[in-house]
Amino acid sequence: MYQYDVIDHEFLADRAAQFRDQVARRLTGDITEDQFKPLRLMNGLYLQLHAYMLRVAVPYGSLNPTQMRAFAHIARTWDKGYGHFTTRQNIQFNWVKLGDAPDILDHLASVDLHAIQTSGNCIRNVTSDPYAGATAQEVDDPRVWSEVIRQWSTLHPEFSFLPRKFKIAVTAAETDRTAARAHDIGLRVLRNAEGALGFEVMVGGGQGRTPYLAPTIKPFLPAARLISYLEAVLRVYNRHGRRDNIYKARIKILVASLGAEEFARQVEEEWGKIGEGADLPDTELARIRGSFVKVPFETVAPRSEVFEAEQTSDRSFARFVRNNVKAHKQPGYAIVEISLKAPGATPGDASAEQMEAVADLAERYGLSDIRVTHEQNLVLPHVKLDDVPAVHRGLQSVGLATSNISLISDIIACPGLDYCALANARAIPVAQSIQDRFADPDRAEDVGELKIKISGCINACGHHHVGHIGVLGVDKKGEEFYQLSLGGSGAEDASLAAILGPALPADKVADAVDKLVETYLSMRTDGERFLDTFRRAGMAPFKEAVYADAH
Amino acid sequence: MPTLIKRTGEGFTAAEDIFTDVADEDAIPNGPVILSMARFQAEGDALVTAGRSVGVRIQPDEAVEDLAYDLPRLALVGAVFPKFRDGRAFTTATLLRERLGYQGEVRAMGEVMRDQALFMVRCGFDSFAPVDGATPSDWAKAAGLFRHVYQRAADHRPPAFEERG
Ligand code: HEM
Ligand code: SF4
């Protein structure tokens, strides 16, 4: 992990003190709620249906055990004993009191964490690949570049009051685990034909009521020119993004209305004027790279007898390995995913005890590294194969050994009407009804990779536009209905889902998903995922299956 | 007369505002004035030639580059925040300082509050007309809250990476 130095520590302490003062001025009435709102939002504090919600940044989804224990402590002391990991690799506490928020931020600062820029119209917490530093697929470690962007964007004086929020994702692998094209800026680290390191720059993606996948506006940006180029993009957006209508204020609308080519031209022109003077010196790039402490891998055999034997003797472990254990670049190591989608659980929720258990396992077996994924799961990126059985047993003891990564029950769902003031419909109970339907793990494995994503309203926090099956809650004369869509993807084969047909009542959603799955199973050819079959066969057979009774 | 806070070296002091901020529909009074961009383009030349002290008020949707050739004749440039959360004036000020090399007074006008003091100072503003009753010492406190900054800006404060150097 990146090691904070005294400058980073002092910065966080100053930030916590600033927020304490702002809260005090609000509590005494020196400032109005209207004036306070942008300030609290820049510290991740939202006013929700029942209480304040605090969103804490997990920079590029990377945590150490001490930080995870701090979350457990916050959950216990100032919340109801749990926290919610989000699709932006952050964590949210749903039941916070305004007066407690300064103490929480102090506690966070003591372990190098904060809530800076987790909301508000600024550059949000940067997201990245949860397998960074562990997967053999990557060209470079995307966390280095994420950290460069974190520092540059933190309290950026020119870009803290943008037309709208601004989200940047960095990936460096063939397999995109960041949904890069669904971001305001997606950066893919690559090497060009000459072997030089750089970025493919995608700008103008986003979900919400008008989803767009970001077009590539620069196929190759030399790595050393990253900051000046980002400044150019942000400046064009800050000046020309719409501010008259919040639904048209995201950069995606600017890019779409100018056209990607014209937008790219304006950025290029601005970039030319900015020049290299704005870029980070190579020495600082090297320092940041060096501040990621080298992971102390041991030299071990690529094959582990313990690991193999346990799979033969314990079927549940074998299932866990098939679904949750992924290839590591270091021989004899594995990436272990921890599903936060146990049957009946709220997707993304973890209790204080679970967080502590994960922290302990990471410390004992995982080289003290923990990641959060945008699919609302956790990852232990560096576990020796020999230790995977012990990790599995540890997870089992706290109800975290659900073996369903990327399967139909690994559902993303937003908070929906249970917590959210903007919701049209509940999302969590619908997720649970689908999980119940596919509770048989053999069947779920047979169905294979199938990503269901559920949002309680058109704001699309649950990413339904990029679900293989997307579910959107709509309000029909005061009743909760759900509109299904098919064929979306947030991965390297990104696409937006298309609407299946008329919305369905809550108790018909699981049935409909069942019919979609049966249709897929009846048509799939070898190795085809649901998404592939849909892309090959089109909407018609699926539509027919779901709405047949209505004819 | 609203309080005016001016940056003086590293500190902030109260200053008398000698300028009249003239709305487009009002007649131009005697003494130093601040005009809209359109008014300046129409009537500014005559005033400046007559030796008057003239400033221009830039709205966020106006391009500061359009003033490039007039800058040496201007007594001040005001960049307007129509709303606290409209951040375009930060770009205006940055470009004035960094690209157009303007050395004169750059004033933050509109819904100006101490919570933006740090950002404003960093983008090159050096005079402020706050609406939240902030005093120079409030301003100094707000602008100085952070012992470190992470990025280069128009204030040329050494960023973290230079401090580490
Ligand atoms: C419960 C309170 C929440 C509220 C009131 C809320 C509100 C919103 C709104 C209004 C948008 C649309 C923004 C736009 O299109 O400009 C949005 C988008 C989004 N939210 Fe939330 N949200 C909430 C919780 C969450 C949670 C818990 C997550 C993560 C699990 C989340 C993740 C997102 C994402 C990923 C987007 C899409 C961003 C994009 O358009 O690119 N939100 N949210
Ligand atoms: S999608 Fe709608 S209901 Fe769900 S969290 Fe976002 S705003 Fe709330």
What does the pLDDT look like over A214-267, one tens digit per residue? 999 999 999 999 999 999 999 999 999 999 999 999 999 999 999 999 999 999
Best mutation target, A14, A161, A282, to test chain B (most B CBs within 10 A): A161
Mean pLDDT for A528-537 is: 97
Mean pLDDT for A288-308 is: 95
Residues 6+ apart with CB under 8 A from B52: B32, B33
CATH code for position B69: 3.20.20
Residues whose beta carbon lies within 6 Å of some atom of ligand 1: A 48, 86-88, 92, 164, 167, 182, 206-208, 250, 414-415, 419-422, 459-461
Identify the helix (H) or strand (E) that includes residue A203. Answer: strand A197-203
Integer angstrom CA distances of residue B111 from A156, B22, B95? 20, 17, 21
**Do both A278 and A178 map to the same domain?**
yes
CB atoms within 10 A of CB B23: 10
Mean pLDDT for A172-182 is: 95
pLDDT, residue B19, reads 96
**Do both A248 and A220 map to the same domain?**
yes
- Which of B115, B120, B164 is opposite residue A7, by nearest beta carbon? B164
Chain A residues closer than 8 Å to B87 by CB = 121, 158-162, 238
Q: Which two tokens stand for residue A360?
A: 């302990």
Query: Could you give the CA distance from residue A104 to residue A98 in angstroms, rounded to a whole number?
Result: 10
Answer whether residue A551 shows pLDDT above 80: no
Chain A residues closer than 8 Å to B164 by CB = 5, 7, 284, 287
Show which of A367, A396, A425 is a domain's final residue: A396
Burial of B19 from C-beta contacts in 10 A (0-12 / 13-18 / 19+): buried
pLDDT, residue B2, reads 56
What does the pLDDT look like over A367-420, one tens digit per residue? 999 999 999 999 999 999 999 999 999 999 999 999 999 999 999 999 899 888
**Do both A139 and A285 map to the same domain?**
yes
Contact by Cβ (8 Å): A160, B87: yes
- Which of B99, B113, B123 is opposite residue A157, by nearest beta carbon? B123
**Do both A482 and A382 map to the same domain?**
no
Query: Could you give the CA distance from residue A164 to residue A168 in angstroms, rounded to a whole number?
Result: 13
**Do both A390 and A484 map to the same domain?**
no
Specify if A89 maps to a domain. Answer: yes
**Do both A471 and A422 map to the same domain?**
yes
Contact by Cβ (8 Å): A301, A343: no
Show which of A349, A371, A396 is a domain's final residue: A396
Torsion of CA A11, B95, A240, A205, to 10 degrees: -40
CB-CB under 8 Å, A35 with B132: yes
Integer angstrom CA distances of residue A199 from A64, A282, A404, A513, B153? 28, 16, 33, 38, 24
- Which of B86, B120, B148 is opposite residue A243, by nearest beta carbon? B86
Backbone angle region of A477, left / alpha / beta, with phi > 0 → left and psi within -120 to 50 → alpha: left
Amino acid, single-letter form, for residue A319:
R
CB-CB under 8 Å, B163 with A161: no
- Which of B151, B160, B164 is opposite residue A156, by nearest beta carbon? B151
CB-CB under 8 Å, A10 with B161: no
Distance A419 CA to ligand 2 centre (A): 9
Ligand having the closest approach to the CA of A55: 1
CB-CB under 8 Å, B87 with A159: yes
CB-CB under 8 Å, B147 with A14: yes
pLDDT, residue A36, reads 86
Specify if A120 maps to a domain. Answer: no
B65 touches chain A (CB under 8 A): no
β-sheet bridge partners, residue A218: A201
Q: Is B130 helix (H, G, I), strand (E, B) or coil?
A: coil
**Do both A388 and A435 map to the same domain?**
no
Contact by Cβ (8 Å): A199, A223: yes
Specify if A361 maps to a domain. Answer: yes
CATH code for position A195: 3.30.413.10
Chain A residues closer than 8 Å to B113 by CB = 35
Give the confidence band of A550 by pLDDT, cuts at 50, 70, 90.
Answer: low
Q: Rg for chain B (alpha carbons), in Å?
A: 16
Burial of A551 from C-beta contacts in 10 A (0-12 / 13-18 / 19+): exposed
Integer angstrom CA distances of residue A49 from A160, A228, A420, B124? 27, 41, 6, 40
**Residue (of A170, A135, A134) closest to A59 by Cα position:** A170
What does the pLDDT look like over A405-447, one tens digit per residue? 999 999 999 989 988 889 999 999 999 999 999 999 999 999 9
Which residue in this structure is represented by tokens 């939002």?
A: A41
A20 touches chain B (CB under 8 A): no
Mean pLDDT for A30-58 is: 85
Query: Could you give the CA distance from residue A221 to residue A225 in angstroms, rounded to a whole number?
Result: 7
**Residue (of A156, A96, A106, A97) closest to A126 by Cα position:** A156
Query: Could you give the CA distance from residue A141 to residue A129 in angstroms, rounded to a whole number?
Result: 9
- Helix intervals (H) in A79-171: 101-109, 142-153
Size of interface A-B (CB pairs under 8 A): 96
Question: Strand ranges (DSSP E) for B45-118?
Answer: 54-58, 76-81, 105-110
CB atoms within 10 A of CB A318: 14
Q: Rg for chain A (alpha carbons), in Å?
A: 23
Answer whether residue A323 shows pLDDT above 80: yes
Give the confidence band of A44 by pLDDT, cuts at 50, 70, 90.
Answer: confident
pLDDT, residue A548, reads 87
Q: Which two tokens stand for residue A186?
A: 């997606």
**Residue (of A429, A425, A361) closest to A395 by Cα position:** A361
What does the pLDDT look like over A442-480, one tens digit per residue? 999 999 999 999 999 999 999 999 999 999 999 999 999
How many domains are contained in chain A? 4
**Do both A251 and A219 map to the same domain?**
yes
A269 touches chain B (CB under 8 A): no
B79 touches chain A (CB under 8 A): no
Q: For residue B92, give the chain A residue with the closest CA.
A: A239
Specify if A1 maps to a domain. Answer: no
Specify if A118 maps to a domain. Answer: no
Angle at A104 between CA A103 and CA A109, to 5 degrees: 95
- β-pair type (A216-222, A325-327): unpaired
**Residue (of A354, A369, A456) closest to A413 by Cα position:** A456
Chain B residues closer than 8 Å to A151 by CB = 150-151, 160-161
What does the pLDDT look like over A502-512, one tens digit per residue? 999 999 999 99
**Do both A326 and A266 map to the same domain?**
no
Q: Which two tokens stand for residue B76?
A: 């001040």
Show which of A255, A290, A325 is a domain's final residue: A290
Residues 6+ apart with CB under 8 A from A310: A317, A388, A389, A392
**Residue (of A60, A74, A327, A75) closest to A170 by Cα position:** A60
Ligand having the closest approach to the CA of A46: 1
**Do both A286 and A140 map to the same domain?**
yes
Domain that holds residue B44: 3-164
Amino acid, single-letter form, for residue B48:
V
Chain B residues closer than 8 Å to A24 by CB = none
Residue A326 phi, psi dihedral angles, 5° rounding: -120, 160
Give the confidence band of A47 by pLDDT, cuts at 50, 70, 90.
Answer: confident
What does the pLDDT look like over A111-165, one tens digit per residue? 999 999 998 899 999 999 999 999 999 999 999 999 999 999 999 999 999 999 9
A121 touches chain B (CB under 8 A): yes
Domain that holds residue A469: 412-550
Q: For residue B121, give the chain A residue with the closest CA.
A: A157
Distance A87 CA to ligand 2 centre (A): 12
**Residue length, chain A?**
551
Q: Is A288 helix (H, G, I), strand (E, B) or coil?
A: helix
Low-confidence ranges of chain B (pLDDT < 70): 1-3
CB-CB under 8 Å, A10 with B148: yes
Query: Could you give the CA distance from residue A467 to residue A483 in angstroms, rounded to a whole number?
Result: 13
- Helix intervals (H) in A95-172: 101-109, 142-153
Specify if A157 maps to a domain. Answer: yes
How many domains are contained in chain B? 1
Distance B133 CA to ligand 1 centre (A): 35
Residue A254 phi, psi dihedral angles, 5° rounding: -65, -45
Query: Could you give the CA distance from residue B165 to residue B148 in angstroms, rounded to a whole number?
Result: 14
**Do both A143 and A280 map to the same domain?**
yes
Chain A residues closer than 8 Å to B149 by CB = 155
Chain A residues closer than 8 Å to B94 by CB = 157-158
Which residue in this structure is represented by tokens 């799939």?
A: A524
Specify if A58 maps to a domain. Answer: yes
Q: For residue A17, give the chain B residue with the closest CA.
A: B145
Query: Could you give the CA distance from residue B133 to residue B129 in angstroms, rounded to a whole number?
Result: 9
- Which of A11, A158, A283 is opposite residue B90, by nearest beta carbon? A158
A158 touches chain B (CB under 8 A): yes
**Do both A322 and A275 map to the same domain?**
no
CATH code for position A335: 3.90.480.20
Specify if A174 maps to a domain. Answer: yes
Query: Could you give the CA distance from residue A98 to residue A162 in angstroms, rounded to a whole number?
Result: 25
- Which of A7, A159, A283 is opposite residue B148, by nearest beta carbon? A7
Atom of ligand 2 nearest to the CA of A420: 8
User: Can you say how many angstroms the Cα of residue A25 is from the centroid of all Cα atoms in its chain?
Assistant: 34
Q: For residue A163, give the chain B residue with the closest CA.
A: B86
Query: Could you give the CA distance from residue B94 to residue B125 in angstroms, rounded to a whole number?
Result: 8
